[in-house]
Structure 1
Amino acid sequence: MNIPYEKAFDLLAQVKAWWTTRIIDIRPGVIRIKGRPIETLIGNVGYAQMVWLMLRDDEPTPAQLALLEAALVAAVDHGPQAPSISIARMSVTCGVPLNAAMASAINVLDGVHGGAGEQCLQLYKDALAKAATQPLEQALDAALAEFTAAHGKMIPGFGHRFHPVDPRSVRLLALVDDAQRHGVVAGRHAEVGRLIERTLERRTGKQLPMNIDGATAVIYGELGFEPALARGLFILSRSVGILAHAWEQKQQGGRIKGPLPPALGYTYAGKH
């Protein structure tokens, strides 16, 4: 098939424009991330800084990177009872390789299991946006009313099934407070999070302290990340735990392990 030169040139331009990226430039012998040669990054940039570089266009300070790294470290694992972790382990016993086990686990990190950080950060941001024209307490009440009307009464990021007080959150919030004292962050997301704690306690009569999702949402918000990225960053973090458990299960062996030992059975609710 003969294509006129002019048309071929136009088609080539269309092909080159099909994918457009400001993230990476690859040519023979050249790899640049955001304009920085990869060989200057290797050995000089840590993982948290690389995550920032890939997702953002601004340059982080060491103190900002320390907060980001703390959040990534805090959420790596929460035991084999966490659905994503148990799925990874069960997948390995079904004979799949590590990549398939990890993919199976990551696929369930959606709105219910894995999405609380994103939802919580959006709630913080909604409250702060309303606080531009009214007192924070009123802004939060309005944001909570809108959230519960749309999603139900459970507020993501607060309370925990296992921990009366989530030890991860305590440490993360202490780091945020220290960063605020040193002018690294403004502390507004932390202020909203703590106000939600007090509001929920007043409304329910129960203490529902901030959990890991609420605390990491504070950090991601203070650092200027968008809510959707809060879920992506959580998945990056939890992937470490998923990989570790999948690998451990591979070493332990086992064949077609279900969620419970067979002797425990299950409840049949159909017709006899």
Structure 2
Amino acid sequence: MTGRDGGSADHDSEVAEWWATAITRMEPGVLEFRGEPVADVIAHRGLTEVIWLLLRSGRPTPAQARLLEAAMVASVDHGPQAPSIAAARMAATCGVGLNSAVATGINMLGDVHGGAGEQCLLMLTEVVERESTGQESADAARSTVQAWRERTRYLPGFGHRFHPVDPRREPLITLVAEARDRGEVSGEFLRAGLAIEAELANTAGKNVPMNVDGLTAIIYGELGFAAPLARGLFVLSRAIGILAHAWEEQQSGRRNKGPIPPSILPLYRPDGGSTPGS
């Protein structure tokens, strides 16, 4: 028995099985996402709901969709000093296409820039797990912070090099707290985040508020997303800002080929240092 291309039917079946997926069904005249016809998805789902559908299947509750959307909106951009944005803006004037400029920015998102949400969610999960064994929230936070301090001096999701208090903190904290009070999320990841904040304030002698990575990690934890998806969702949302900046830079008509204007390029120094040019 032969397949459509003259090969064996068993071979065709093996190829089909290799690429089998529960996400998409595509046949001539048919396109479905998780079993839902694309026409229905277009008519009845917003983009946030489609993200949930493809990653998780099913439909989020209105409260879940609102929290997911808020987390993604909060992460779209943080200005041209962010490495991913700066790289995209420079690439946009180097003769590459817009897609390459966006890809350049996205490829800058790694463990140091873009990965803190995933790392913070792992840390928050440790607090939640310690609480599940009977530890008080403060003790669970203290034990977790101590454990993380043993392997890194950087606690992901807390403190900000620009903002004394991240301007995204209060609106996101408020949304999660309201959802908790309505019984729409458990509140355990919010409790963990606030407990770490309190522990850091005690040990550092000053407030070290959560930044957007910690705030969105709380939301993704409350929504039940795996930690690696906290990074993936950050990349997805930041791609919007990267696209906007790359497009703006392309329209400027200038060549942006370095992180500082040519008039203040550093001068070469034989000892390996540099001084600003005049």
* TM-score, length-scaled by structure 1: 0.93
Whole-Å Cα distance in 2 between the matches of residues 217 and 29 of structure 1?
40
- Once the 2 structures are TM-superposed, how far is the Cα of residue 206 of structure 1 from its aligned partner? 1.9
- Once the 2 structures are TM-superposed, how far is the Cα of residue 125 of structure 1 from its aligned partner? 0.7
Verify: 1:181 aligned to 2:181, yes or no: yes
Whole-Å Cα distance in 1 between the matches of residues 201 and 261 of structure 2?
39
- Once the 2 structures are TM-superposed, how far is the Cα of residue 267 of structure 1 from its aligned partner? 6.3
Query: Paired residue for 1:90?
Result: 90
Does the residue aligned with 1:70 lie in a helix, a strand or coil? helix
- Once the 2 structures are TM-superposed, how far is the Cα of residue 196 of structure 1 from its aligned partner? 0.6
Query: Paired residue for 1:254?
Result: 254
AA paired with 1:64?
Q
AA paired with 1:191?
R
- Specify whether residues 121 and 92 from structure 1 end up closer, same or farther in structure 2 by C-alpha distance, changes over 3 A only: same
Whole-Å Cα distance in 2 between the matches of residues 269 and 182 of structure 1?
63
AA paired with 2:204?
T
- Once the 2 structures are TM-superposed, how far is the Cα of residue 269 of structure 1 from its aligned partner? 5.6
What runs of 5+ residues in structure 2 fail to find an aligned partner?
273-278
Whole-Å Cα distance in 2 between the matches of residues 24 and 257 of structure 1?
41
Query: Paired residue for 1:66?
Result: 66
Q: CA RMSD in A?
A: 1.8
- Once the 2 structures are TM-superposed, how far is the Cα of residue 138 of structure 1 from its aligned partner? 2.6
Whole-Å Cα distance in 2 between the matches of residues 269 and 10 of structure 1?
68
Does the residue aligned with 1:79 lie in a helix, a strand or coil? coil
Equivalent residues in 2 for 1:43-82 (5 A)? 43-82=43-82
Query: Paired residue for 1:112?
Result: 112
- Once the 2 structures are TM-superposed, how far is the Cα of residue 147 of structure 1 from its aligned partner? 2.1
Query: Paired residue for 1:199?
Result: 199
| Between 11-20 and 180-189, the greater mean CA deviation after superposition | 11-20
AA paired with 2:48?
A
Whole-Å Cα distance in 2 between the matches of residues 182 and 266 of structure 1?
57
What runs of 5+ residues in structure 1 fail to find an aligned partner?
none
Equivalent residues in 2 for 1:151-162 (5 A)? 152-162=152-162
Which consecutive segments of 4 or more residues in structure 1 shift more than 6 A? none
Query: Paired residue for 1:169?
Result: 169
Q: Cα deviations across residues 248-272 of structure 1 (Å, max 9, x unaligned)?
A: 1111121242100122223646448
Does the residue aligned with 2:150 lie in a helix, a strand or coil? helix
Whole-Å Cα distance in 1 between the matches of residues 133 and 72 of structure 2?
34
Does the residue aligned with 2:259 lie in a helix, a strand or coil? coil
C-alpha contact (below 8 Å) 2:141/2:199 kept by paired residues: no
AA paired with 2:230?
A
**Identity among equivalent pairs (%):** 49
C-alpha contact (below 8 Å) 2:89/2:101 kept by paired residues: yes
- Specify whether residues 205 and 267 from structure 1 end up closer, same or farther in structure 2 by C-alpha distance, changes over 3 A only: farther
- Specify whether residues 183 and 267 from structure 1 end up closer, same or farther in structure 2 by C-alpha distance, changes over 3 A only: farther
Does the residue aligned with 1:167 lie in a helix, a strand or coil? coil
- Specify whether residues 270 and 188 from structure 1 end up closer, same or farther in structure 2 by C-alpha distance, changes over 3 A only: farther
Whole-Å Cα distance in 1 between the matches of residues 57 and 10 of structure 2?
32
Does the residue aligned with 1:42 lie in a helix, a strand or coil? helix
Whole-Å Cα distance in 1 between the matches of residues 61 and 108 of structure 2?
34
- Once the 2 structures are TM-superposed, how far is the Cα of residue 20 of structure 1 from its aligned partner? 2.1
Query: Paired residue for 2:148?
Result: 147
